[in-house]
Chains A and B, each alone.
Chain A
Amino acid sequence: DAGVIQSPRHEVTEMGQEVTLRCKPISGHNSLFWYRQTMMRGLELLIYFNNNVPIDDSGMPEDRFSAKMPNASFSTLKIQPSEPRDSAVYFCASKRGLAGYNEQFFGPGTRLTVL
């Protein structure tokens, strides 16, 4: 298993452009998480899904951010329009089962730079 797959690995875009980040969770995992990592704020949870259903999106910074999970093997995080303060590393993670103590498996991250 290749683990959690994220694409692209790096994205450089200009302010105002739409950005779409993609994630393929580990097969058989039924929970998926999107995180943002910055120097100032560390690792923050943006949103998570159970069985493709969004459960908690309280960490999504504003309406410019949206996330979808159309099926068990694919999720997207979209920023429209993007702003320089959105520059960060975005991680996707997946987990098997619903127990809180189960390990989350992280993807390699997407480094986003908004100019």
Chain B
Amino acid sequence: AQRVTQPEKLLSVFKGAPVELKCNYSYSGSPELFWYVQYSRQRLQLLLRHISRESIKGFTADLNKGETSFHLKKPFAQEEDSAMYYCALSAQGAQKLVFGQGTRLTINP
């Protein structure tokens, strides 16, 4: 069975500081990994996926198969980054997503 763990329910950093939201997964095959974000009063939306190897809004995430991790990073946090972040996994060839518990990120001015 697949499992996604986000160890931090709450994370608070100051504006301009680096941010790292942790995500670990459990899956024996090759996973598809995603970060979804929910800003205040907005819908849950895709932030980035590992297959695209892209940087979105300054965020990047690298899949580390050895450590089974997919941590989300940004070198300089901005106040508009405050939101709820969910890491999600899709098993190879599967349709459904398994979500972590989520991390609420707060950027302090």
Contacts and interface: CB of A to CB of B under 8 A. Distances in A.
A43 interface: yes
B102 A101 contact: no
Interface residues of A, number: 27
Please report whether the interface of chain A is mostly helix, strand, loop or mixed according to DSSP: strand
Given A48-B96, A55-B95, A101-B32, A42 B45 contact: no
A48 B95 contact: yes
A98 to B, nearest CB: 6
Interface string B79-109: 0000000100011111111111110000000
Interface in A60-115: 91, 93, 95, 98, 100-101, 103-109
Interface residues of B, number: 21
B100 A104 contact: no
Contact of B43 (A42, A101, A107): A107
Contacts of B51: 101
A19 interface: no
Contact of A100 (B92, B101, B102): B92
Interface of A: 3-4, 31, 33, 35, 41-45, 48, 50, 55-56, 91, 93, 95, 98, 100-101, 103-109
Interface of B: 32, 43-46, 49, 51, 86, 90-102
